[in-house]
Amino acid sequence: MIHEAIQNRSSFNVIHLATMFKVDIFVLKDDVASQEEMRRRGQYQISDTSNQRLFLASAEDVIVHKLYWYQLSGSVSERQWTDVLGVLQVQGEQLDYPYLEHMAHQRGVHDLLIQAMKDAKQGGI
């Protein structure tokens, strides 16, 4: 599964069986948007006792991707929508809204972003 995802530049997930913690891994694509996402990724230290670093997508890119997946589901995936609202509510003013709106336009989900921002302000989780 991992080799196929790398060859196709798609995604796969890994699950820590003891905790059932799941991590989605996205293989870098060649397009401009993917390159920008990589440039904007955040680097986090895993623990205080380790120098290991973990790279995660920006909150803005997570929102846009989840809105896109929500749209692909026929706008019925409650999980994706709830995740979007949660990120909007938690990140709030820390989000780069011009970038978020630009990427939402590029992905064709700007109308969904506007609705999500309204729902998030109203506490719509």
pLDDT tens for the chain, 125 residues: list them.
Answer: 899 999 999 889 999 999 999 888 888 888 888 888 889 999 998 888 888 888 899 999 999 999 999 999 998 889 999 999 999 999 999 999 999 999 999 999 999 999 999 999 887 55
Q: Are residues 39 and 49 in the same domain?
A: yes
Q: How much is the pLDDT for 46? A: 84
**93 plus 41 within the same structural domain:** yes
Model confidence, pTM: 0.83
- d(C-alpha 110, C-alpha 39), whole Å: 22
Do residues 25 and 5 lie in contact, with contact meaning Cβ atoms separated by under 8 Å?
yes
> Based on the structure, what is the number of domains in the chain?
2
Q: Are residues 82 and 110 in the same domain?
A: yes
DSSP states along the chain: -HHHHHHHT-EEEEEETTTTEEEEEEPPPSSHHHHHHHHH-EEEES-TT---EEEE--HHHHHHHHHHHHHHTTS--HHHHHHHHHHHHHHGGGS-HHHHHHHHHHHT-HHHHHHHHHHHHTT--
> Could you tell me which of 66, 71, 108, 69 has the C-alpha nearest to residue 88?
66
pLDDT value, residue 125: 53
If asked whether residues 62 and 92 sit together in one domain, one would say: yes
Domain membership of residue 70 as a residue range: 32-121
- Are residue 64 and residue 87 in the same domain, yes or no? yes
